[in-house]
Structure 1
Amino acid sequence: MESNKIIFRQALEKDLDFIVQMLADDVLGSTRERYEQPLPESYLNAFKAIESDPNHKLVVACIGAEIVGVQQITFTPYITRQGGWRATIEGVRIARTARGQGIGSRLIEYAVQRSKEHGCHIVQLTTDKKRDEALHFYEQLGFTASHEGLKLHL
């Protein structure tokens, strides 16, 4: 598999099964996601909401017809920072068979470029504190752990 032949495109509904499979294919994802057949309806509902909102992009990376990665990019206007826009990258996953080939870097570079084109002044993302390798990966790409994030699970 040659990672220099990657194309990026909007995810299609027919891609959803493999996207959920990638999301579930690690230690943390296996406890948070429900990859089963048929897929839970909640995934299709989320896909349709993302697809219908121009400020959300669900992007797949492909080599030929094979999906090798996924990420969601959300563009959000903020009152802070003089009313600027931010991009949030979420749900970044690389297919198990394609890991270690630079595809993750190319996926993030793609998101950063789309963010610049959208006029964003910040690109932000979070990673679970248990994902030491992911934190190191994002730091190598220039991201800094400048804030402490908090969540309230409902």
Structure 2
Amino acid sequence: MALTFRGAVEQDVERIVEMLADDLLGKERERYAQPLPASYLEAFQAIDADPNNELIVAVDGTGRIIGVQQVTFTPHLTHQGSWRATIEGVRTDSTVRGQGIGGQLIRYAIGRAKERGCRLIQLTTDKQRPDALRFYEGLGFTATHEGMKMKLEATEL
């Protein structure tokens, strides 16, 4: 399927949240509602204002957003003071999963990382998503580290 990739705009946020909420884990942690919680627009504005963050949407031939990912570029003292890219929040519309859209999204992110001079690209995938792990391995990623997270108490949204 031929796709166009572009930076997300504020009008895309509702569609992005819809995709984030439309999976096993997302439906438990996202709040896709009308009106959309203000926290999503605030997060979008912070991402959009940061030159080291890109919220990228994949658009099909009809103009419909069918994929999204966030790529964050970070300078590090490790690896001889190089930059790395982190891919997060990768989702494709549930009606087109399995059609190669995710692979195109990730290859686009890899291209952006190369353009930005990154020497490393990283991502995490939830252990409850074994298919995602195989997907990323098929694209050349290797599970070289054990990742850890700590949830912090959120303020009332």
Instruction: Give, in whole Å, the separation in 1 of the partners of 2:49 and 2:96.
Output: 29
- Paired residue for 2:155? none
Where in structure 1 do 4 or more consecutive aligned residues deviate above 3 Å? none
Residue 97 of structure 2 corresponds to residue 108 of structure 1? no
Matched, 1:63 2:45: no
Give how far 1:100 is off: 1.1
Task: Find the aligned partners of 1:117 and 1:79 in 2 and give their Cα distance.
Answer: 20
Unaligned runs of 5+ in 2: 153-157
One-letter amino acid of the structure 2 residue matched with residue 12 of structure 1:
V
Aligned counterpart for 2:120 among listed residues 119, 122, 135 = 122
> 1:15 and 1:95 mapped to 2: Cα distance?
14
Give the distance between the partners of 2:115 and 2:13, measured in 1 at CA: 26
CA-based RMSD of the aligned residues comes to 0.6
2:24 equivalent among 10, 22, 27: 27
Match of 2:92 among 69, 94, 104: 94
| Secondary structure of the corresponding residue to residue 113 of structure 1 | helix
- Relative to total residues, which structure has the larger helix share, 1 or 2? 1
- Which residue, 11, 14, 23 being the options, matches 2:11? 14
Aligned-partner SS, 1:150: coil
Aligned-pair distance for 1:152? 1.0
TM-score by length of 2: 0.95
Once the two structures are superposed, residues 8-37 of structure 1 have per-residue CA deviations (whole angstroms, 9 ceiling, x without a partner) of: 000011111010010000110001111111
**Deviation digits for residues 32-91 of structure 1 (CA, Å, limit 9, x no counterpart):** 111111111110000000000110000000012111100000000001111100000000
Q: Work out the CA distance in 1 between the residues paired with 2:73 and 2:96.
A: 28
User: How much does 1:7 deviate?
Assistant: 0.3
**Which residue of 2 is the match for residue 84 of structure 1?**
82
Indicate yes or no: 2:43 matched with 1:43. no
CA drift at 1:151: 0.8
Matched position secondary structure for 1:91: strand
Cα deviation, residue 98, structure 1: 1.4
- Secondary structure of the residue aligned to 1:104 is helix
Deviation at 1:110, TM superposition (A): 0.2
Shift of 1:140: 0.3
**Number of equivalences:** 151
